[in-house]
Chain A
Amino acid sequence: MAESTKTIEIECLRFNPETDSAPRYQTYKVPFTDDMSVLQGLQYIKDELDGSLTFRWSCRMAICGSCGSMINQVPHLSCETFLRDYYPGKLRVEPLNHFPILRDLAIDQTDFVRNKLPSIKPYLIPKQQKTLEQGEYLQTPAEMHKYYHYSECINCLLCYAACPQYGLDPKFTGPAAIALMHRYNADSRDGGRAERAELANSDEGVWGCTLVGYCSEVCPKGVDPAHAVNQNKMASAVDYFLRFLRPYGGKR
């Protein structure tokens, strides 16, 4: 590590489920250089100041989506957020909003991983099943362009932390899951839209969104979940009016 010239105060939310009934805050003085990320600041705390601080990380280059946290009340990946941008002020690091806190900065992602993500059937449901002998499902670059940026989601959950509707009503399917649903619906090889429509068209689906739009602001991969959700409001309205002619969603 290069010679440190400055020191910044990092205030971390602390919560120990074995001893605490509510979270508290603890401030650490961290020497830093201009190339240090907030994640590196947290690693410095864990290595040098307080080994009990708990947080998740893995790739440290905005690919794995593990290190999302609230930094001064804004959802960020801590690996691509730099300490220099907060100096000479201090920064407060908290776990992602709207999720239960397991310990310190680590949240419980069960609701997304177990409930939300599987509910949108995040896999190709081919229009017509092919046998191996019939070859692969082909697609032109133009067809891929229609969904590609929605497929870049890394499940970091920043958009859920940015979504007050999810915070107020956790039954809302939420930005990332609906963006992924759109990713499959918009795929020319996929024929599963009808299977996904009952959830999409419900209050827990696209209509749970009130177009706050902050999800797209905070997304580190440019997925634009707000666009995915709100395009599907139009599709849902069309389904509603054409439901007798073209019944999507089956039992309703």
Chain B
Amino acid sequence: MTTVKTYMRPMAGWWRKNPFFVRYMIREASAPLFYLYALWLLAGIVALATGPSAYAAWWAVAKHPLMILANLVVLVFAVYHTWTWFSVLPKTTPELDVAPGALITGGIVAAVVACVALLAFAWGVTR
């Protein structure tokens, strides 16, 4: 074993020292936002089940400009999260005879198609 004196550098602020780590931390730190957003949607369902007045109250908060702004912020991070998620897809699949770039593009295209289909469906049933 080593017996000479060594110096161990501290890890404080590690993620600010490299843009790659900053992008990683934004990806990871955005996850709790989606948790909160899911709770907010769940609150809407509970309000709907409780009765018309509770649902009207939830809806009034949902229409508040600050809430719309919060929705936009979550949307921006959701898009970023989706993009970074598919960017690491080639690291998580088994060995495939597909180019990593094709996997990433395929994932992002699938996500866009799924979002458009869901929006079209929601548009169709709520009109």
* Residues of chain A whose beta carbon lies under 8 Å from any beta carbon of chain B: 15, 17-18, 20, 22-23, 73-74, 97, 100-102, 108, 110, 114, 146, 164, 167-168, 210-214, 216-217, 224, 226-227, 230-231, 233-234
CB within 8 Å for A22 and B92 given contacts A110-B2, A164-B21, A210-B28 = no
**With contacts A100-B6, A108-B2 known, is A230 near B91, CB below 8 A?**
yes
A213/B91 in contact, CB under 8 A: yes
**Chain B residues, CB < 8 A from A214:** 18, 20-21, 24
The docked-state distance in angstroms from the alpha carbon of A167 to that of B18 is 14
Q: Do A211 and B11 form a contact, CB below 8 Å, given A17-B4, A146-B95?
A: no
Known A110-B2, A230-B92: A168·B11 in contact at CB below 8 Å: yes
Contact for B18 among A73, A213, A234, CB less than 8 A: A73
**Chain B residues within 8 Å of A210, by CB:** 28
Cβ A211 vs Cβ B7 within 8 A: no
Q: Which positions in B face A, CB cutoff 8 Å?
A: 1-2, 4-9, 11, 14-15, 17-18, 20-21, 24, 28, 88, 90-95
- Report the Cα distance A162→B18, complex, angstroms: 10
Secondary structure call for the B interface: loop
Could you list 22 examples of A-B contacts with CB < 8 Å? A15-B7, A17-B7, A73-B18, A100-B6, A100-B7, A100-B8, A101-B7, A101-B9, A102-B2, A102-B6, A108-B6, A114-B1, A164-B11, A164-B21, A167-B14, A168-B14, A210-B28, A211-B88, A211-B92, A212-B20, A216-B91, A230-B91
Partner of A231, one of B4, B18, B94: B94
Q: Enumerate chain B residues within 8 angstroms of A211, measured Cβ to Cβ.
A: 88, 91-92
Residue of B6, B8, B90 with most partner-chain A CB within 10 A: B6
Q: Which residues of A contact B20 (CB under 8 A)?
A: 212, 214, 217
CA of A216 to CA of B92 in the docked complex: distance in angstroms?
Answer: 13
User: Once the chains are docked, how many angstroms separate the CA of A164 from the CA of B6?
Assistant: 20
Residue of B whose beta carbon sits closest to that of A102? B6
Q: Select from chain B the residue with minimum beta-carbon distance to A146.
A: B95
Flag if A227 contacts B90 (CB, 8 Å). Answer: yes
Q: Which residues of A contact B2 (CB under 8 A)?
A: 100, 102, 108, 110
Give Cα distance in the complex from A100 to B1, angstroms: 13
Q: Which 6 A-B pairs have the closest CB atoms?
A: A100-B6, A17-B5, A101-B7, A226-B91, A230-B92, A227-B91
Query: Are the C-beta atoms of B14 and A101 separated by less than 8 Å?
Result: no
Does B18 contact A74, Cβ atoms closer than 8 Å? yes
Cα of A231 to Cα of B91 in the assembled complex, Å: 7
Q: Which of B5, B14, B95 contacts A164 (CB 8 A)?
A: B14
For B8, list chain A residues within 8 Å (CB): 100-101
Closest B-chain residue to A228, C-beta based? Answer: B91
Q: Is the CB of A213 within 8 A of B88?
A: yes
Q: How many Å from the CB of B84 to the closest CB on chain A?
A: 10
A111 to chain B: closest residue by CB: B2
| Inter-chain contacts of B90 with A (CB < 8 A) | 227
A73 to B22, CA, bound (A): 13
